[in-house]
Structure formats: C-alpha cells, structure tokens
Structure 1
Amino acid sequence: MADLISKNDLQFKDYAWKAIPPDDARVTGKPDSTLLNRGEGYEVLAFLNRISKTKESALKGERLIKNNLPGDVRSHRNVHQWLVDNWSKHA
C-alpha cells in the first residue's frame, strides 16, 4: 500500500532525518511499546502513514503530536491512543 504522506507533505520542518532500516521497530511500531521519537522525521512519517486513513488525518495527527501531545506519552500504542482520545478536542 502506498504511503499517504511523504517527507515533503510534513508541515513542520525541524525534524532530524537520520536514516533507520525499514524493519526497525521504530518504523514498524511493532511491538507497540516501541517509543516514538517525535523529533525524528522518519519515525513520525512512518507512524503517521501506519495509523492514518487519509492525508488530512495524517497531517492533523502531525499537528497534534507536535503541538499538543504530552511529553510523557511516548510509546506507539500510547501516542495512538492519545490521538484517538483527543482527536475531536483539537482542530
């Protein structure tokens, strides 16, 4: 399945872009207990593409992660759950 968004679609440009292997758990998110480094572009991009159904939802997810996600929410599972729980509270 094709990715919904690419590096060029991301709204924030302050990510680090250190390449990591595509089978790395930080990219695949398996196990879900893997921590998401929200400053690493490849990790955020892969995470958003994995959990999103539309380009618009991926970009909203990026905004929520960058602007609203509490610092103590770090695992893929918890970040995803926080997005689900807080989706309608933010534009």
Structure 2
Amino acid sequence: MANFKRSDLTLIYSWTASVENDNAKITGEPDSTLLSRHEGYEVLPFLNRYMTAKGWTTLSTFNKLERSLRNDLPSDVRSHANVKKWLNNNFES
C-alpha cells in the first residue's frame, strides 16, 4: 500500500479549506468528487489510493504522477473517476 506523506510532495499546495464545501477533513473517494490539483489534502490521498490500486510503490513514480496532475492533466478533467481514466491512458510509471 502506498503511504506517502506530505513531505514527499515536491510541489507547493494549499492545506486549508477556504469554503464550507471544501472541507479538509473529508479525504474519502467518491468518484464523482472533483479533485483540486492545488489542495494538498486532496492530492495526497488521491495519489496514495491510485498508486495502491496500480501496485506502484516508488517515490519517483509518486512525484512523476504529482507533476503530471499539475502540469499535464487537462483543466476540464476534474472528477476522481475521470482523473483516474486520464492517468490510465496517459501515464506510464
């Protein structure tokens, strides 16, 4: 199981929820939930779950995924399900 920590992230993230519907304590995974690429409390658990599902364990893959989410993922791909689908089609470990 991937269990990367905040200190393993290489990019800068916000770690505070700014509105009522943006609750930092909710880190579950409804596939319809929208992923904010700039919120660390959303990106970190998403990446850990995705890597666990793929059986990937290396920090280098974690960081490549992190950069791909921020730099390559189209802005209109937002739900967890669609982000996973995009990664499955566009990312190689």
- Specify if TM > 0.5: yes
With the length of structure 2 as denominator, give the TM-score of the two structures. Answer: 0.78
Structure 1 gaps, min length 5 = none
Distance 2:78 2:42 in 1: 12
RMSD: 1.8
Say which of 61, 65, 87 aligns to 1:83: 87
Counterparts of 1:7-86 in structure 2, within 5 Å, are 7-13=6-12, 15-18=13-16, 20-21=24-25, 24=26, 27-29=27-29, 31-52=30-51, 53-54=56-57, 55-86=59-90
Alpha-carbon deviation of 1:57? 2.4
Greater RCO structure (CA 8 Å; 6+ sep): 2
Higher helix share: 1
Structure 2 gaps, min length 5 = 18-23
Q: Judging changes above 3 Å, is the alpha-carbon distance between structure 1 residues 17 and 61 closer, same or farther for their aligned structure 2 residues?
A: same
With the length of structure 1 as denominator, give the TM-score of the two structures. Answer: 0.80
Distance 1:81 1:2 in 2: 19
One-letter code of the match for 1:45?
L
Q: Count matched residues.
A: 82
